[in-house]
Structure 1
Amino acid sequence: MNVQLFIPCFIDQLYPSVAFNMVKVLEKAGCTVQYNTNQTCCGQPAYNAGFRNEAKEVCTKFVKDFSGADYIVAPSASCTGFVRNYYPQLFNNSSMHNEVKTLGERTYELSDFLINVLGVDDLGARLDGKATYHDSCAALRECKIKQEPRRLLQKVKGLELVEMNDVETCCGFGGTFAVKFEPISIAMADQKITNAAATDAQYLISTDMSCLMHLDGYIKHKGSNLKVLHLAEVLANGW
């Protein structure tokens, strides 16, 4: 199966290891992975900031960069959810309407793709220790992803998965929300990390590096030993 890799801009710039680990996982699952080096951003930052016309230009480029029939897989439910749910609004009643609809149907977050398209839940990964999982708002509410990452983590040898309290509560990042409403954002991060730490977990895992980036900043500020890991890093570990 051919797969087009979509790497969000912040992962490309700040967490490239997540992208490389996702390639390893997809190839082990039997996929032929391709990467279009012309790709840039999905347009979500501009859209969320209210710059709809500028966002549409970026989104139009994204549609062209990922034209074809291959599946598009991303290590981010946030970007995936944006393509699936907001592109149809931007291009409604336009000449690109049908192309955008098909694009959304081909675009998947990693765990969703592994479980619901490939039917793979065991990659032979190993990680010794205890972990708790954070449901990102985009994964849970925009992509309807809940059990998929948990099924994958439950097959990781040596890993004990423990649920934290209020697991579906937002971490406080929300893109520009963290900048515009810093005190609220910090308080939400404090609540999330307090709940995660109460499980005695060593690892905090999620599908979204944007959430983990925000939480990791608070973890370092608080002096906690909790380590954040993207799902792809876990699934590529131990083999």
Structure 2
Amino acid sequence: MQDRDYPTAPKQVYLFGTCVIDLFMPEAGLDAVRLLEREGLTVHFPRGQSCCGQPAYSSGNPDEARAVALAQLDLFAQPWPVVVPSGSCAGMMRHHWPQLFADDPANAAKAQELAGRVYELSEFLLHVLKVDYRAAVGAPAEDVVLHTSCGARREMGTRTHGVALVDALPGVRRIEHEHESECCGFGGTFALKHADISGAMVKDKVAAACATGAGRLVSADCGCLLNIGHAARFQQAPLEVEHMASFLWRRVNGKAAGSAK
């Protein structure tokens, strides 16, 4: 992860919703929009967007990943920030899209310019909008643990952003667990290719989270949430999972995630 200079708060932004949120957790995408609109922003959602290309890229198929990225380079034409409610997808767009076009100068310039406008949601809320949630009231007190995907931690610094936002929320106690810095075992196609290893890793993750006594795990990456949440249900463990966007909206809005009012 590299340090970056943050712009002043804009009036308009793009949302890159990610394919996993679109297919499995659309409420998290809606709650991300609500968090941004709460700060007075107009949110634009280009309908042609799809996957960031990370599954193909991490599986050793750069040509397929390049084709996915190329189909979207012109969708975010205005000089507005591109906010991504996924640290791993934001990392793919910010750090790897320019690399995919290293031998294509025209598209490399487009990818590099776009990459400079890509922000993970927590990062954007904290450093660009400088949100202040200390006055949020209405939701009951609760203990939570955090999980940060490997890519989000390394490439976007998502953990530090999430910690800062959660720690500022009234009534929320964040508890660290022994396996917080470890992979949950999802790793995209890793979970398919090495199912036994993946299963053992997520079992350790769930056990460590439950050992804290917290009943909720919060993360900014849907792939990890699907993996941890399904494992917890399979193990009949007392652990609910929630996307960071929905968690923040629920806490600052005082209502259930997915509720606009």
Deviations 1:50-88 (A, max 9, x none): 322222111011211122211001110111001111112
How far apart are 1:214 and its partner, in Å? 0.4
TM-score scaled by structure 2?
0.88
Contact 2:28–2:243 under 8 Å retained in 1: yes
Query: How well do the aligned residues superpose, as a CA RMSD in angstroms?
Result: 1.4
Q: Is 1:89 aligned to residue 99 of structure 2? A: yes
2:115 aligns with one of 104, 112, 116: 104
Worse-matched range after superposition: 95-104 or 16-25: 95-104
1:41 aligns with one of 51, 55, 68: 51
TM-score scaled by structure 1?
0.95
- State the partner residue of 2:130: 119
Q: Is 1:189 aligned to residue 202 of structure 2? A: yes
1:121–1:92 Cα change, 3 Å: farther
Which residues in structure 2 correspond to 1:34-73 (within 5 Å)?
34-73=44-83
- Measured in 2, the distance between the counterparts of 1:108 and 1:102 equals 13
- Measured in 2, the distance between the counterparts of 1:93 and 1:119 equals 38
Contact 1:137–1:170 under 8 Å retained in 2: yes
- Measured in 1, the distance between the counterparts of 2:131 and 2:15 equals 18
| Aligned residue type for 2:84 | A
- State the partner residue of 2:29: 19
Worse-matched range after superposition: 137-146 or 109-118: 137-146
Runs of 5+ consecutive residues of structure 1 not aligned to the other structure = none
- Measured in 1, the distance between the counterparts of 2:215 and 2:107 equals 46
Runs of 5+ consecutive residues of structure 2 not aligned to the other structure = 1-10, 256-261
Deviations 1:14-37 (A, max 9, x none): 110000111110111221111111
| Aligned residue type for 1:17 | E
Q: How many pairs align?
A: 239
- State the partner residue of 1:202: 215
